[in-house]
Amino acid sequence: MDLYDEAYQALAENRRMIKKTKPQVFKDAEGDIKGISMGGDDAFKKAMKEAMEEGMAESENMKRFGLDPSKMEDALKYDEMKEAGQLEKNITGLSDMSEADTLMQKYPGMGKELADQIANDPDPQRKAYVISLVDQTMEMNKRGMSGDEIIDAFKKGTDRTKQANGGLSYLMGM
């Protein structure tokens, strides 16, 4: 067997292994995908999960301090802050905070009860929808809208107008 055949067999085996394993999808608190890992044994998957969680926590912490995790100079500045002990203990990682605490920190003024309800919601779609509503509310508030104006905007946004008649389905009697 020549080198080409060996490489081809190794590649084919790798493909079979990847097809057998389910990918790991890493998401942040808002449900946005931050990374995907394919293949690997259980130890590899565990290590990837830990690394992704730690990386996402560090990125969130950097953002809280107004630093951009994608910029090397900001990453170095953040490392210097950590070494100098300038970070508070409860801000050194999201793992130290519950999801409800993270929501209350991200959305100042959110009550503990609402944060707990969102954090403990078993339906990920509803959770993402509620978080998007909170984001929209915060944005409207930044633009100077009052609470009543925001509520009216959401009410108007949920009123659907009747679909127009016509087209192919109308002609076919559907």
Say what the pLDDT of residue 89 is. Answer: 44
Rounded to whole angstroms, the Cα distance separating 126 from 132 reads 10
pLDDT tens digits along 45-86: 888 888 888 888 888 888 877 888 888 998 888 888 887 776
pLDDT tens digits along 125-144: 888 888 888 888 888 888 88
Residue with tokens 């950590």: 82
What's the pTM?
0.38
pLDDT band, very low/low/confident/very high, at 91 (cuts 50, 70, 90): very low
118 is written with which tokens? 């969102």
Q: Is the pLDDT of residue 153 over 70?
A: yes
Which pairs from 102-108 meet CB under 8 Å and 24+ separation? 102/29, 102/60, 103/29, 103/131, 105/64, 106/29, 107/134, 107/138
Rounded to whole angstroms, the Cα distance separating 98 from 111 reads 14
